[in-house]
Amino acid sequence: MQPRLSLLLLICLLSFRQYTCAQKNYNQIIRETWQSLPDNAATADSIGNALLLEFADNPAIPDSIIAKTWFLLGQSSMYQSKRNLALSYYQKVLQSPFVSVSPAIADACLNNMAIIYERQTKYSEAIEAYKKSLAISEQQGDSSMIVMTWLNIGMLNYAMGARNTSAGILDKTLNYSLRHRDTLSAADSYLNMANVFYPDNVTLAEQCYNNSLQFYKSVSHIRGQATVLVNLARLESDRANYSRSGVLLKEVLSLAGSDNMDGILATAFRILAKNEIDADGNLTLAREYLDRARQLSVEAERKDHLKDIFEVELLLEMKRGDYSSYKKVLENYIKYQAEQSAENARIINAEFQAIHEVKKMAEKNSRLEEGILKKNRQLLLSLLALLGAILAVAIIALQYRKLRQASTAMFRMNVEIANSFPGISPALQVMEPDTTRTDSDSEPEGERALTNLYNAILNRLETEKLYLDPSLGLQDFCQKMNRNQRYVSRAISDIGKTNFPNLINRFRVNEARRLLTSGANLTTSEIVEKTGFGSRAAFHRNFKAATGFSPIEYQSMAQNTPENLPEF
């Protein structure tokens, strides 16, 4: 009987290796498909559905792979304007056990759901989704996401007509941003408050716009400055102060012309055209402005701008007294609205068809799963009858072996991570910070420049161990590097795919890994003090999430895992 048991264990071990390899391939397929979005949304949709069909034949596929596939399908559906279908996939992800160990994917689902609800004018549902996202951001200590989410909630209340509630939320958001010295978020708060106050309280709105403009200028945020100036120009136009409006719009053209902001430029040219019309100015120039606004709107794929352009164009033809031209513009306007309605109808029809197909596929998968379960039960009964106690012992032994191998592999992976930077970036030359720069200096553009900056950030954190300071914040770090806060944040976000607090916690966890394997037998309190974490709770939570072990379990693995232990 002993040779049979050994053979069974060998077969099971080979099957486990094959399963692990397949799991890695699934992760790679999902990752590469996700990276092809949004350009290849239809292809991504086909790949995701094909994966689900394949998973139906393999009940051993882990929850993480299935949840990632659902998220991929949600993204591809949203990019194809199949909003209800996207919502159903995001709901599936949120119901998966995987979200308990990956709050980031839950946060992404909730934010996308809120965006979809907002576009469907389901503002209450959007607010509820943002509040759930807010809870995750607060748990992660992500102040920038906290501010952004509160801004969205405030503006949704404004869209619902709850102006006072919206103003109160935005005021609290502003105070939060100022306390945390988050200049960019404070500028965003002032801008949104101005939009809430206008046009009922023009004086207060103008004050908020000017405050927002000053904050944007202090961090050299070009897009923010251009956005505020367009709003101020609109305000001056409504006051019939066309000269002042024109001065502001020329400043917008100067700012936006060098930063690829076609949507903002289109709005600026539309206001310039309306100013010429309302002020009995140069109607030929007004026509040129409108033509430029339409061109920019098309290039920016902002069809929503065309409605406003058509309305100003109708005013222009009325001013000129050219009835035939007015009639032609009106016909084009009606045609545009009909095309938009037809496109919306087409999208809705396609979405319902997609939902129907998904339902049919789900029913097919259900039938396949029932057949697989039935066959598995029959096979299990046969195996139990043939092998009995021997099979039970083999299964127990295999499970123990798998658990031991998995724990050892996870521990070795953590040891390897501890000996490297806790961040991933392309193998480019590290660009050390220029100590002669100031926040007002222009920063280099492009992915290579951001990658160099990100590598410099990692190098600075590791060599000087700045993360050991529990009070280290983004603003203090940027001052130490003598770099612009917005570009540092952008490099961490675009290249590191994370935010500053999470990056710092990675370094702190890495330091904890090294201390726990050093053989010094340090207490938890000592490790918390030596790694820069603010509390025992924060240390335990971040360490468990990053390594898969509690600190005590990790220390035990270090003491009981010899360096020459064979790999499996």
Q: Where are the domains of the chain?
A: 390-419+508-568, 423-498
Asked if 193 and 209 count as a contact pair (C-beta separation under 8 A), the reply is: no
Instruction: Tell me the HSE value of 196 on the side-chain side, using a 13 A CA sphere.
Output: 28
Instruction: Give the separation between CA 541 and CA 538, rounded to whole angstroms.
Output: 5
| pLDDT, position 331 | 83
* DSSP 3-state percent helix, strand, coil across the chain (nearest 5): 80, 0, 20
Which DSSP string do the residues of 54-78 spell out, in sequence order? HHHT-TT--HHHHHHHHHHHHHHHH
Instruction: Give the separation between CA 18 and CA 79, rounded to whole angstroms.
Output: 35
| pLDDT, position 421 | 58
Q: Which residues of 102-115 are buried (b: 16+ CB within 10 A; e: fewer)?
A: bbebbbbbbbbbbb
Coil, strand or helix at 273: helix
Residue 339: Cβ-neighbour burial (10 angstroms; 0-12, 13-18, 19+):
exposed
Instruction: Give the separation between CA 198 and CA 433, rounded to whole angstroms.
Output: 43
pLDDT tier at 16 (50, 70, 90 boundaries)?
A: very low
Residue recorded with tokens 């996308």: 112
Instruction: Give the separation between CA 134 and CA 395, rounded to whole angstroms.
Output: 44
Most confident of 101-110, 396-405, 422-431: 101-110
pLDDT tier at 288 (50, 70, 90 boundaries)?
A: very high
Asked if 508 and 542 count as a contact pair (C-beta separation under 8 A), the reply is: yes
CA-to-CA separations, 231 to 152, 167, 206, 243, 312, in angstroms, rounded: 19, 18, 9, 15, 17
| pLDDT, position 162 | 87
Mean pLDDT over 295-304 rounds to 81
Q: pLDDT, tens digit, for every residue of 519-535?
A: 778 888 889 988 889 89
Q: pLDDT, tens digit, for every residue of 87-97?
A: 999 999 999 88
Instruction: Give the separation between CA 264 and CA 406, rounded to whole angstroms.
Output: 53
| pLDDT, position 245 | 92
Report the Cα 161 to chain-centroid distance in Å: 28
pLDDT tier at 306 (50, 70, 90 boundaries)?
A: confident
pLDDT tier at 433 (50, 70, 90 boundaries)?
A: very low
Instruction: Give the separation between CA 247 and CA 423, rounded to whole angstroms.
Output: 46
Q: pLDDT, tens digit, for every residue of 307-350?
A: 889 889 888 888 888 778 788 878 888 877 777 666 666 655 65
Mean pLDDT over 372-381 rounds to 68
Please name which of 361, 344, 346 lies closest in space to residue 88, comparing C-alpha atoms.
361
| pLDDT, position 145 | 86
Mean pLDDT over 486-493 rounds to 93
Residue 196: Cβ-neighbour burial (10 angstroms; 0-12, 13-18, 19+):
buried
Coil, strand or helix at 523: coil
Token code pair at residue 241:
């102060």
Mean pLDDT over 268-287 rounds to 91
| pLDDT, position 263 | 86
Please name which of 259, 262, 225 lies closest in space to residue 445, comparing C-alpha atoms.
259
Least confident interval from 312-321, 405-414, 538-547: 405-414
| pLDDT, position 389 | 52
Please name which of 35, 45, 107 lies closest in space to residue 73, comparing C-alpha atoms.
45
Token code pair at residue 382:
């046969």
| pLDDT, position 236 | 92
Residue 509, pLDDT above cutoff 90: yes
| pLDDT, position 259 | 66
| pLDDT, position 14 | 41
Q: Which residues of 117-151 are buried (b: 16+ CB within 10 A; e: fewer)?
A: bbeeebbebbbbbbebbbebbeebebbbbbbbbbb
Mean pLDDT over 152-156 rounds to 90
Instruction: Give the separation between CA 554 and CA 543, rounded to whole angstroms.
Output: 10
Percent of the chain with pLDDT over 90: 31
Residue type, 153: I
| pLDDT, position 378 | 72
Instruction: Give the separation between CA 204 and CA 200, rounded to whole angstroms.
Output: 9
Mean pLDDT over 144-159 rounds to 88
Identify the residue with better confidence: 304 or 552: 552
**Residue 346 CB contacts under 8 Å (≥ 6 apart), including other chains:** none
What mean pLDDT is reported for the chain? Answer: 81
pLDDT tier at 52 (50, 70, 90 boundaries)?
A: confident
Residue 131, pLDDT above cutoff 70: yes
The CATH class of the 390-419+508-568 domain is mainly alpha
Residue 555, pLDDT above cutoff 50: yes
Which DSSP string do the residues of 148-169 spell out, in sequence order? HHHHHHHHHHHHTT-HHHHHHH
Most confident of 92-106, 231-245, 423-437, 547-561: 231-245
| pLDDT, position 394 | 57
Please name which of 486, 503, 500, 496 lies closest in space to residue 445, comparing C-alpha atoms.
486
